[in-house]
Structure 1
Amino acid sequence: MSTYFNKVKDYLLNLEYNIVQEDLAEELFVVENPEGGIANLVVDCEDPILIIEGLLFEISGDKDDIFKSLLMKNREIVHGAFTLDETGTKVLFRDTLQLENLDQNELEATLNSLELLLSEYSEEIISFSKL
């Protein structure tokens, strides 16, 4: 186990995130913050980086307009970005941070960015998920 795992865990608890799953062997957490609209967010210590990733929605219909809208919105996201899984059908939020000099403010900024994205862009995300 790296020294970063416990540090990240402490930060998540200080930020009042619920740890719904913890995998010591893989050095990852699944967290939620219902008040911020966050559920099943994976926080993975992959030395030298911390990966924060969560599924937002799946798409099956016409993708061109959705992709264009997501790419345009990426420009406005403070931390992190929309990404696709390897199948191109799952839209994820993803951010990476350096573990070596990670502080609580950096992690909080990423989590706040996701919460802001979900609150400001929720109608679009819901409509995309129905296509």
Structure 2
Amino acid sequence: MADYQGGKKFRQLKEEQEKKLDEINRNYLDDPDYGDSEDYPDLTSSLETYKQQFIEFDLDSSGDIDLMELKMMMENMGQAKTHLELKKMIAEVDRENRGSISYNDFLFMMLGKKSSVLKLILKFEQKANEEQQPSGVAPKRDISSLP
């Protein structure tokens, strides 16, 4: 019974987090600097992608990506970093001096003109994942074409 309650509570936390992130996304869509801009032609789609990334990285649904979550994220992408490098990455993005990356900080980084190490890694990872996704019908092969 305790596992069921724990799972239910975690699901509820995730739902609350998603609502908060959707609200922040709406603020960006309503902001004249971002919404309906040539710089951001498909802002709605980008914000949804960034929201999903953030949710994936915020393992405890706290609303922030802390040092350990960033460490795990980098390791999962094959980009292991030292604690000092991770702290520098957070400091580059953390506009509120919280020692972690809030969703607002994350969006500001991803949508901003300034390049940070974390932004470059995430963009590179996103491109790599897009290129790995085969589409369409698989080509027909016969036994002689196999190595």
TM-score, length basis structure 1:
0.32
Report which of the two has the higher share of helix: 2
- State the structure with more CA Rg: 2
Higher relative contact order, chain-length normalized (CA < 8 Å, sep 6+): 1
Report which of the two has the higher share of strand: 1
